[in-house]
A = this chain, B = another copy of it.
């Protein structure tokens, strides 16, 4: 009665992630269970930050510039969810997410165009970084003065393991994309196929580990069949998410905690990344996929928690974007292009206060901006909007108030 909540998994922030057998960084049905969560049980699960500790709390962007992207996304799990079978749904209630008490900080990074990149890398190719300090529900950054906001804290990644069939389909379709783009002459990395380098298969034996390394799906994209790295900012504390189950026991994993994130997570390493602990309650809905109309086992649905930071609509400043790119080229109903334009409009707006463009890029990634698809049918222009909460700024940024320019360029940006 009133006993403490069980901690189902502890991580060690002083040991390399690859040495911790209850972590893994590939999606594969054969990664061994790390433990069992009973139906309806609430547990705490500790998680590393998504880079496994590669980024330091300092004033240089070199660690972001040189980050090893084969050593990321060490997930905690997979857990057996008692009684879960293919065709079921696991309802995961995210009771809370907290940073470690002795590590009250996180980071946002802009990756270099040649090592990770991001949504605006054609325009902003350099690496950059901001460290955020946590004080209770709030965060501030010495690298981006003049802003403070409450965290919309959430896991970037959670999901159940794919079945062998689903995994094969993932590999097929992503390989197809790679082939097509290569055939079309693109030199851009368009997807990450299986990679043996630094694959972490948890506690799998050597043969299984080799199989997982050879076949396992990379953790970067979210995928419709299980959610995964969905990076949804309001899948936050208090949420209930309904995850389709594809293998016996579900093999539920979680990681990549974010103190806050803007819609789009535009700088890729853009959320406020942190290590910490997530509290979840797992409940099995037998035959849930049919009950919820999840045709072909997809996709997760969720109901957000009731405690997300509230700004009145009259305190949001919205920026329109259309699918005409920054070179004047017209695209056809391309919401991605339109969203980039909304981002650029905010950069132009906030630059007037003395911020460096990279600071704003970092801020848009980390702060709870609201990115909407406004119109998607008026050919040829998709229209998107981004709502910027004016209350995260110390200064009054309303359009009526003349902007006062002060040099605030404090975020480290790589020379390269």
Query: A interface vs B, CB < 8 Å?
Result: 1-2, 4-5, 42, 57-58, 91, 94-96, 101-105, 118-119, 131, 133, 135-138, 150, 169, 173-174, 176-177, 181, 189-192, 220-224, 227, 229-235, 237-238, 240, 242, 263-268, 270, 279, 281, 285, 291-295, 298-322, 324, 328-336, 339, 341, 345, 348-352, 370-385, 387, 391, 396, 398-399, 402-403
Contacts and interface: CB of A to CB of B under 8 A. Distances in A.
A125 to B, nearest CB: 15
Given A2-B104, A330-B176, A348-B295, A377 B266 contact: yes
Nearest to A174: B330
19 contacts: A91-B399, A136-B279, A137-B305, A177-B330, A177-B331, A181-B332, A189-B379, A224-B320, A224-B324, A232-B375, A264-B377, A270-B377, A291-B399, A299-B320, A301-B399, A303-B314, A306-B311, A314-B391, A371-B372
B223 A131 contact: no
A37 to B, nearest CB: 14
A227 B101 CA distance: 31
Contacts of A263: 372-374
A50 B396 CA distance: 38
Which of A118, A138, A263 counts the most chain B CB atoms within 10 A?
A138
A306 B313 contact: yes
Given A264-B376, A299-B341, A137 B307 contact: yes
Contacts of A402: 291
A376 B267 CA distance: 9
B373 A138 contact: no
A231 B378 contact: yes
| Number of identical protomers | 4
A376 B181 CA distance: 18
Contacts of A268: 377-378
B301 A377 contact: no
A184 to B, nearest CB: 11
Given A137-B238, A221-B381, A293 B375 contact: no
A301 B318 contact: yes
A105 to B, nearest CB: 4
Contacts of A381: 221-223
Contacts of A131: 1-2
A249 B189 CA distance: 49
Closest CB pairs A-B (n = 8): A95-B136, A96-B136, A231-B375, A221-B381, A335-B335, A2-B105, A173-B330, A304-B313
A237 B98 CA distance: 15
Contact of A192 (B169, B314, B379): B379
Given A304-B318, A314-B303, A373-B371, A293 B379 contact: no
Contacts of A330: 173-174, 176-177, 191
A72 to B, nearest CB: 12
Given A270-B377, A334-B336, A308 B305 contact: no
Contact of A373 (B57, B306, B384, B398): B384
A84 B186 CA distance: 47
B191 A380 contact: yes
A147 to B, nearest CB: 14
B309 A377 contact: no
A95 to B, nearest CB: 3
Contacts of A174: 330, 380
B265 A177 contact: no
B299 A304 contact: no
Nearest to A231: B375
Contacts of A403: 291, 293
A309 B264 CA distance: 25
B377 A95 contact: no
Given A231-B378, A376-B266, A1 B58 contact: yes
Given A303-B314, A345-B301, A335 B223 contact: no
